[in-house]
Amino acid sequence: MKIGIIFGGPSEEHAVSVKSAQEVAKHLDPEKYEPFWIGITHSGTWKLCEGPGTDWENTGRPAILSPDRSVHGLLALEQGQYRPVALDLVFPVLHGKFGEDGAIEGLLELSGIPYVGCDIQSSALCMDKSLAYLVAGDAGIGTPNFRTVTSKEDLDPDRLSYPLFVKPARSGSSFGVSKVSDKEELPGAVEIARQYDSKVLIEEAVVATEVGCAVLGTGPDPAVGELDQIRLSHGFFKIHQEDNPESGSENSTIKVPAEVSAKTRKHVQQTARTIYRALGCSGLARVDMFLKEDGTVLLNEVNTLPGLTSYSRYPRMMAAAGLSFSEMIDRIVSSAAAGGLR
C-alpha cells in the first residue's frame, strides 16, 4: 500500500509532529507499506523527502498534494517537471492548526484520497473547545463552566471566580494556556492566549484528576485503550513544551493504567466512547477528561490526531491494552482504507 505520510506544518506544534512522524517511521512495516514522506516546513513549503530525519527540509524536493482527483496523489518535482505520484491512502501525522482543524482534511476530501483520522466536520468541532463543550453537553456529558471572549470583547475581571484557566479556543499541546489565580493575572493571560487564537476560552479550574482514553475505530462500539492518569506536582500538564520530554516531565507523572476501580475504569471508557460518537469522530482520537472525587466525569478536550511520540499518551494507552505501535498503525490504516471515500 502506497501511503503518503504528512508531517511538520506551520502550526506551533510543528516540532511535536516531526517527533510523531519519526516514531511512525520506526514502526511502519516495510512489507506492508511503501511510505512517501511529505514534510511541511514552518513556512508552509511542502517537501517530498526520504523520511522525517534531521535534514529533511534541505534534502527534500518540492511536492504538492493535488486536489485534482484524476491525479489521486502528489505532484512532485522531478528533472524540472512536476510528475504525478499516485497514493492509496494518506496518514496526516499533523497536530494543531492546519492538521486537526479540518484544513488538511478538506484538501484530502478534494483529492479523493482515503485518509486516516476524523473528517472535516469532527476535526473542526473538536479543535474548537467551546463548540465541543456545547455538543458534548447536548449529549448529556458534563463540561467545565466556561465562557468565550472574542478579540474585540472586553472582560470584567471582577465578575469571574478564581482560580480559572485561560486558553486559546483553537490550539493544542497547552500552547497559550495560563492558570490564573486572581484578577490581576487575567489581562496578561488573555493576551498570551490571543497570540494563538482570536477566540479565547475562560474556564473554571476543575478540582479533579485528569484522565485520558485512547479510542480507535469507527462505528457504534470503537475500541479503547487503557486509561491513563496525570499526576501533577504543580502547574498544569504541558509536556510538549518542555526542554527534554523524552527524559520525563518537569511537573507531571503519567500512570498507565490509571489507578481507579474496575467500575470507574469502565464508566470512563464508556464516557469516552459517548464523547467520540457525539462529536462525530472516526479513525482515532484521544479523549481527555476530568474525574471528580464523586465519580463524575467531565470532558476536558478531544485530540483528533494525538501525539505519537515516544513519550505520548495515546500509544502508551494502546500498548497497555495489548496493542503494539506497529499493530496500532495497522489498525488505524485498515480502518481508513475500509472506510474509503467519505
Active site residues: 16, 19, 95, 240, 246, 286, 307, 311
Question: How is residue 71 written as a grid cell?
Answer: 491525479
> 3-class SS at 18?
helix
Interior angle at CA 156, CA 152 and CA 158, nearest 5 = 165
Chain centre distance of CA 279: 14
**Which single residue is written with the C-alpha cell 503519567?**
254
- Residue 133 to residue 301: CA distance in whole angstroms: 8
Question: How is residue 79 written as a grid cell?
Answer: 528533472
C-alpha neighbours within 13 Å on the C-beta side of residue 30: 2
The DSSP code for 251 is S
Burial class (CB in 10 A: 0-12, 13-18, 19+), 92: buried
Q: In DSSP terms, which residues pair with 291 in a beta bridge?
A: 209, 297
Cβ distance 122 to 280 under 8 Å?
A: yes
Indicate the residue type of 49.
C
